[in-house]
Chains A and B, each alone.
Chain A
């Protein structure tokens, strides 16, 4: 069993950056361009690692946070993969949710430690968006656990799909889209507005780490939502993990298309719209639970 988890972890660490390459190819296709080779993002990241290690002025904390963020992200993926095939505690779901929140917090602290107006504006935009998004995340995971009784992947046996559970999972997918900071929610790094915002002072290996962490993050949130969805149908851990990874890959491609047919939102517009959407979905779901639809 543990081999399956090991293989999954390796796949989950390699494939996000590859998927970003595929996303670029899809974007190019929608743009009617040829686009770069599929492995381009990997080439980019590896090339960045080969560059001079340059730390921006007064940004020692940035480096620390960046590596911490990468470590938590890897830990998170590792923990999730293992917990699915071989449950570690009876509250794995809670542990994963908490780790996810910590990783997000670490991630968003990175630009805040850099003294650059664009970086700060980018970070403050991301925080506004995250307040809405993370709040919804916790509420949704809580609701899910409450509806299905799943607190760890050892207890997936009894759960069955209901409309109100599916609604929470749908909202979790919205969450994963927003958390992946794709258009229209890439307001924190809006290239033409605030010159890449939170990325502005990062270069070389630091930028490489940042990008890789971002890819892992994108992968994880999709994987997590997929796991919760498929847990309602698939009852063996190994099969659940494998099929979730496949679903995540498919989703990635779908997200790539969506990101390319929309424009960038504005921080005030985005957070309000998002808040409304979450509240409506959660209300519907709770209503559904009490009416037992």
Chain B
């Protein structure tokens, strides 16, 4: 487990910087700090301790202690630690100093906290981020006194393309031309060169967090969590379940953990195959697209056999899984994997031999290592830019500590690097599944006696195909008091501005797709009905 020395170091650091409380449980360190001392602590954690930033979660705790609270979640991946920094503020004057100039990665979540919980951040520009501009002032959807089904009658209005006197504006969206998801990028071009980028997202808020906090039960939320993302939903449901299990200290049977890991890796394979197909399509290589998806189909069939459904597997519950793997299925998995591995290797070999493809992947959409670190990007985007981080290895969950695997890291930060990371990961996943099937322990797949006490806090992460999912939960009665979800794309979109500037217009869709964006998971929080002439501007270059 975590070295005691490291915890002591954190305790010393926190107390020397004026933390008022320090606690440690499992892989998580909890620090409570006054508003005035928050910036100092954040700087020490992010730059001196070299922690990544995971997300922040604002919570309305007026019913518990009369305060609003803000939890900043940092991650010391090298030492396998989550660091939760809590700051209180009064509901009638909810001001907390912003850390987004020290920790650029905190930019989005601060705006989100401002929009949805009404926490004001001093020392930064605040603007409407998720909610439409016509949303009533002072109405904060995630405050506990706002009913979940309250709908302020907002006028439906359209958005116009911006006009620029200097450069031509090329709209990409409101549907991504290849991923067919709602997003909107405005590319400002001179000739075929992109000179500026604006992003407007959050068209598809679904109010998932609010829904779970108000009208669902712990076990029902597993199925809701699975629907956060259409491609990597299972990661969210595992992440939710294991966060609750961690909070309630539930012992999950080993066999269930193995099954979770196996299914997670099946999902990673099909997700990466999907992405490789889409990338080929964007490069005009439809043959590669079709064959990638042909191979993916074998994996989808396997997923259905293992779980009962091609997608939205629905086998997770708090305490374990619902469907076991028998010998016959084990054999089928191994057979399919062999076919997939053989076909996939051949296809990748061939694809990387197509001259135009390599020419257009290499050296485009570059994200330098330092920028990647500043923005705490996750997943293949981080690994393609030379950041060696993978939650499966750094904070092992499910059954990953039983498998050996290499985390692929490429240093060029271009589209080719991100492609190669994904290619390596597919092969890695195949090997992980084989190892885990080999060691699959006997026993139950569901814990008995599931009791979830109130008022416990936990955070945990799952390495989804796109990067780490972070879930943060404060338990409540029969349902979570607060459930905060951070999808990987949320962390990666800000990096797009850096990747796209100076880029060729022709490479923009590929570069946007290269982070494997999942706009709907990013946008999960609240319902938006229209919005006009409102733009979200990507963070400045720091």
* A–B contact, 8 Å CB criterion (strictly below): yes
Contacts from A to B (Cβ < 8 Å): 27, 30-33, 117-118, 121, 183-184, 186-187, 190-195, 260-269
CA distance A270 to B280 in the complex (A): 18
Nearest B-chain residue to A186, judged by Cβ = B284
B79 at the interface (CB under 8 A from A): no
Decide if A263 touches B504 in the complex (CB within 8 Å). Answer: no
Q: How far is the CB of B217 from chain A (nearest CB, A)?
A: 42
Q: How far is the CB of A1 from chain B (nearest CB, A)?
A: 44
Tell me which residues across on chain A come within 8 A of B360, comparing CB atoms.
Answer: 263-266, 269
CA distance A191 to B504 in the complex (A): 16
Decide if A260 touches B286 in the complex (CB within 8 Å). Answer: yes
B294 at the interface (CB under 8 A from A): yes
Nearest A-chain residue to B161, judged by Cβ = A117
CA distance A186 to B356 in the complex (A): 13
Tell me which residues across on chain B come within 8 A of A266, comparing CB atoms.
Answer: 356, 359-360, 504, 506-507
Please judge, given known A-B contacts A121-B505, A192-B509, whether A264 and B356 are in contact too, CB under 8 Å. yes
Decide if B177 touches A267 in the complex (CB within 8 Å). Answer: no
B407 at the interface (CB under 8 A from A): no
Query: B177 contacts which of A32, A121, A195, A260 (Cβ < 8 Å)?
Result: A195
Chain B residues bordering chain A, tally (CB within 8 A): 31
B508 at the interface (CB under 8 A from A): yes
Contacts from B to A (Cβ < 8 Å): 168-171, 177-178, 192, 280-288, 290-291, 294, 354-357, 359-360, 504-509
Decide if A193 touches B508 in the complex (CB within 8 Å). Answer: yes
Decide if A260 touches B287 in the complex (CB within 8 Å). Answer: yes
Is chain B's interface secondary structure helix, strand, loop, or mixed overall? helix
Decide if A263 touches B294 in the complex (CB within 8 Å). Answer: no
Decide if A261 touches B177 in the complex (CB within 8 Å). Answer: no
Decide if B290 touches A184 in the complex (CB within 8 Å). Answer: no
CA distance A262 to B286 in the complex (A): 9
Nearest A-chain residue to B290, judged by Cβ = A31
Tell me which residues across on chain A come within 8 A of B357, comparing CB atoms.
Answer: 263
Tell me which residues across on chain A come within 8 A of B294, comparing CB atoms.
Answer: 32
Tell me which residues across on chain B come within 8 A of A262, comparing CB atoms.
Answer: 284-285, 354-356
Decide if B177 touches A192 in the complex (CB within 8 Å). Answer: yes
Query: A263 contacts which of B284, B290, B507 (Cβ < 8 Å)?
Result: B284
Decide if A31 touches B286 in the complex (CB within 8 Å). Answer: yes
Decide if B284 touches A183 in the complex (CB within 8 Å). Answer: yes
CA distance A192 to B284 in the complex (A): 8
Query: A265 contacts which of B168, B288, B356 (Cβ < 8 Å)?
Result: B356
Tell me which residues across on chain A come within 8 A of B291, comparing CB atoms.
Answer: 31-32
Tell me which residues across on chain B come within 8 A of A32, comparing CB atoms.
Answer: 290-291, 294
Please judge, given known A-B contacts A31-B287, A32-B291, A191-B177, whether A263 and B354 are in contact too, CB under 8 Å. yes
Decide if A263 touches B280 in the complex (CB within 8 Å). Answer: yes
Tell me which residues across on chain A come within 8 A of B506, comparing CB atoms.
Answer: 187, 190, 193, 266-267
Q: Can you offer 25 A-B residue contacts whose CB atoms are under 8 A?
A: A31-B286, A31-B287, A31-B290, A32-B291, A117-B169, A117-B170, A117-B171, A184-B284, A190-B284, A192-B509, A193-B282, A194-B170, A195-B177, A261-B287, A262-B354, A263-B283, A263-B355, A264-B356, A266-B356, A266-B504, A266-B507, A267-B192, A267-B506, A268-B504, A269-B359
Nearest A-chain residue to B294, judged by Cβ = A32
Closest 5 interchain pairs by CB? A264-B284, A263-B285, A31-B290, A263-B356, A192-B178
Tell me which residues across on chain A come within 8 A of B505, comparing CB atoms.
Answer: 121, 193-194
Tell me which residues across on chain B come within 8 A of A118, comparing CB atoms.
Answer: 170
Tell me which residues across on chain A come within 8 A of B281, comparing CB atoms.
Answer: 192
CA distance A284 to B509 in the complex (A): 39
Decide if A269 touches B170 in the complex (CB within 8 Å). Answer: no
Tell me which residues across on chain B come within 8 A of A264, comparing CB atoms.
Answer: 283-285, 356, 360
CA distance A213 to B44 in the complex (A): 67
Nearest A-chain residue to B504, judged by Cβ = A266
**Interface contacts beyond A262-B356, A269-B356: sample of 20 additional A-B pairs, CB < 8 Å, sorted by A:** A27-B286, A27-B287, A117-B171, A118-B170, A186-B284, A190-B284, A192-B281, A192-B509, A193-B505, A262-B284, A262-B354, A263-B284, A263-B357, A265-B356, A266-B356, A266-B359, A266-B507, A267-B192, A267-B506, A268-B192
